Amino acid sequence: MKIAPLHAELERRGVSQILLHTGQHYDENMSKVFFDDLGMPQPDIYLGIGSGSHAEQTAKVMVEFEKVCMENKPSMVIVVGDVNSTVACCMVCAKLWIPSAHVEAGLRSFDRRMPEEINRLLTDAIADLLLTPSPDGDENLRNEGVAEERIHRVGNIMIDSLFNNLEKSKQSTILTDLGLEKGEYAALTLHRPSNVDEKEPFVRILEALETIGARLPIVFPVHPRTAKQAEKFGLTERLESIPNIVLIGPAGYLDFVALMADAKFVLTDSGGLQEETTALGIPCITLRENTERPITVTEGTNVVVGSDTQAIVDAASDVFETGGKAGRIPDLWDGHTAERIADIIQDRIGS
């Protein structure tokens, strides 16, 4: 979702590109279908990294991506987000003296227990261009001593994808297929290690869902990791018996946008959904202790409640009683971020 608008904009400008998919996200419904939904071409290069520990994934990407860089000698490499592939590719660039740009730079949760936080810190320490989505990103980088000329606030590219595909998502039949009414259900995503890799927080969240489900349907596209952990902890039956729970497989991008856009509220531990719900004005209840996207709280529709059962239930009750937290769309979340990034990249490559 973060690459699609930029790839299209650079292509429109005639900039030669190689689209590389590391294969870190390898489930077809969590990868291939997104290329199709976003109208992207199939990757020019697919590394097929697959699953593994953080060290295994990072090392595999570095070994294979170095070969790609040595063969193709790119003028610049663009990395996005905060996954293992992001930091792995950026480290290869730093060693080979290839300029790199990090889209979604500067975000910080200030929680180094999160693997993504380590990826963010390391990537921003070595990338040449740091393309931030919001003022807090700029400030975080300055506080870390980053030179001003490396920092460029460009806006949120996730919102480009959202706005570009919002109309198209209305063609989705997912609500009809699931027998749902607009505004009469909640959407849920849950996959973070802090929530599903230990039984206690997982159980606390399930307890909250049991209470919330008694009031309205909850649509839950189950992440493979979450399904695996529920089985491991003996929680599968309890998950399936939550009142009004609608369990489905991982949803494609357009189907999930349709689900999110018409939900009464969203429960999530995802970063991107905090941003998308803010852009759509949908109340968001974030099942985490912190967020690297604080602008969704200070300006948007997001409330951060952790895995505490009562806090989750109280936040949902607030939506039922008052409509939930109101917000506004932050500056530069206007659907034109890809154009601003392309300007910066063309200027840097040209020079």
Query: What burial letters (b/e) apply to 241-274, b meaning 16+ CB within 10 Å?
Result: ebebbbeeebbbbbbbbbbbbbbbbbbbbbbbbb
Name the residue among 346, 347, 332, 340 with its Cα closest to residue 135.
Answer: 332
**Between vectors from CA 303 to CA 300 and to CA 1, what angle results, nearest 5°?**
60
* Sole residue written with tokens 């595909």: 165
CA-to-CA distance for 22 and 3, rounded, in angstroms?
13
Enter the tokens of residue 51.
């699953």
| 195 CB-near residues (< 8 Å, 6+ apart) | 201, 202, 205, 269, 287, 288, 307
Q: Is 191 a catalytic site residue?
A: yes
Enter the tokens of residue 286.
């974030």
Give just the sign of the alpha carbon dihedral 53, 58, 63, 69.
positive
> 130, 151 in Cβ contact below 8 A?
yes
CA-to-CA distance for 144 and 81, rounded, in angstroms?
19
Catalytic pick among 152, 191, 223, 336: 191
* Sole residue written with tokens 């027998």: 179
Sequence length of the chain is: 351
> 17, 11 in Cβ contact below 8 A?
yes
Taking the CB of residue 13, how many other CB atoms lie within 10 A of it?
Answer: 12
Residue 89 phi/psi, 5-degree rounding, is -65, -35
| 53 CB-near residues (< 8 Å, 6+ apart) | none
Name the residue among 108, 105, 186 with its Cα closest to residue 152.
Answer: 105
Residues carrying an active site annotation: 191
